[in-house]
């Protein structure tokens, strides 16, 4: 099913759940995708391509269900959530290739029937390992895809050691340093890491769009996100940095109804709305 057909069908069936599952054609045989719709989707509705976490080995559309519902309803965007191939069966670059296919599906098919003077606004986002994939998409497509903003939520960004938070948080809830090392071993499977596996390895971040970075205080990934935010600022990229006190990795996914989680998601909604207000 085409992207525009999906929009049209959902706009005629608003009494349904507000989601639609379909398969995007790809060289690998297809990428399952779930779409979350605002109350009145149109052919010019802005799109948030959001990539789930799961250490490159787990996770699916359902793991970010609450966040996707809130973003679609409150930010007024069509949220696109791919279920990319995962390690260890499918190592790098399978996941990134699948996400690229979905990005092209949105851009190429979604542009048909849209007035060229009112081009569909596109935002990228990702949580944890999905953050690495989202940032890698920016690097892979920097020359050909206009991206209005990037949202990185407790992101995986660097395979290299040397961050104090990695050694300090060796046994924290949800995610810890040993799990982080195992994740990279399974995902890379001997491949040479570069900027498309580990965005922090990029030497040029100047083409990044305005970027929102969520950081959890008690997260082994905390310091690599803080360093990445500083490097973006050095590259004159606008950065919205949020450090949430006394929280662990992907806290707003793990306990989505907790007050701090709702405040965090509300902040993400405000970021997306701010992008829409600039168009």
Q: Which fold has domain 3-112+119-277?
A: Rossmann fold (3.40.50)
Instruction: Specify the pairing of strand 211-216 against strand 19-24.
Output: unpaired
- pTM for this entry: 0.91
116 phi and psi, to 5 degrees?
-60, -20
Read off the pLDDT of each residue in 197-224 and give the average, rounded to a whole number. 97
CA 159, CA 197: separation in Å to the nearest integer?
A: 8
Place 112 in a pLDDT band, splitting at 50, 70 and 90: very low
What is the percent of the chain with per-residue pLDDT over 90, rounded to a whole number?
Answer: 78
Place 19 in a pLDDT band, splitting at 50, 70 and 90: very high
pLDDT, tens digit, 9 for 90 and up, residues 178-200: 999 999 999 999 999 999 999 99
Read off the pLDDT of each residue in 245-267 and give the average, rounded to a whole number. 95
Place 114 in a pLDDT band, splitting at 50, 70 and 90: very low
- Please report, for the chain, the start and end positions of each structural domain, with discontinuous segments joined by +: 3-112+119-277
User: Between the CA of residue 24 and those of 15, 129, 165, 167, what are the distances in Å?
Assistant: 24, 21, 38, 41
């Amino acid at each position: 099913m085409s992207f525009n057909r999906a929009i049209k069908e959902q706009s005629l069936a608003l009494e349904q759940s507000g989601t639609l599952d379909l398969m995007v054609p790809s060289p690998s045989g297809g990428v399952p995708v779930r779409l979350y719709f605002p109350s009145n989707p149109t052919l010019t509705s802005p799109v948030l391509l959001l990539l789930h976490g799961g250490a490159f080995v787990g996770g699916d559309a359902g793991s970010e269900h609450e966040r996707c519902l809130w973003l679609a309803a409150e930010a007024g965007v069509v949220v696109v959530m791919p279920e990319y191939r995962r390690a260890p069966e499918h190592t790098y670059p399978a996941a990134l290739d699948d996400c690229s296919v979905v990005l092209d599906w949105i851009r190429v098919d979604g542009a048909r029937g849209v007035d060229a003077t009112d081009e569909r606004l596109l935002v990228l986002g990702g949580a944890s390992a999905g953050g690495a994939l989202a940032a890698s998409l920016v690097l892979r497509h920097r020359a050909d895809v206009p991206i209005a903003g990037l949202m990185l939520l407790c992101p995986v960004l660097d395979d290299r050691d040397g961050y104090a938070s990695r050694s300090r948080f060796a046994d924290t809830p949800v995610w810890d340093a040993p799990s982080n090392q195992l994740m990279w071993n399974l995902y890379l499977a001997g491949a040479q890491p570069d900027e498309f596996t580990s965005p922090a390895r990029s030497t040029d971040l100047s083409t990044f769009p305005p970027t929102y970075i969520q950081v959890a205080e008690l997260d082994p990934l905390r310091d690599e996100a803080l360093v990445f935010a500083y490097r973006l600022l050095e590259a004159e990229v606008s950065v919205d940095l949020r450090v949430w006190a006394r929280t662990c990795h992907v806290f707003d996914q793990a306990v989505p109804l907790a007050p701090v989680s709702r405040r965090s998601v509300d902040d993400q909604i405000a970021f997306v709305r701010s992008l829409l207000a600039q168009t």
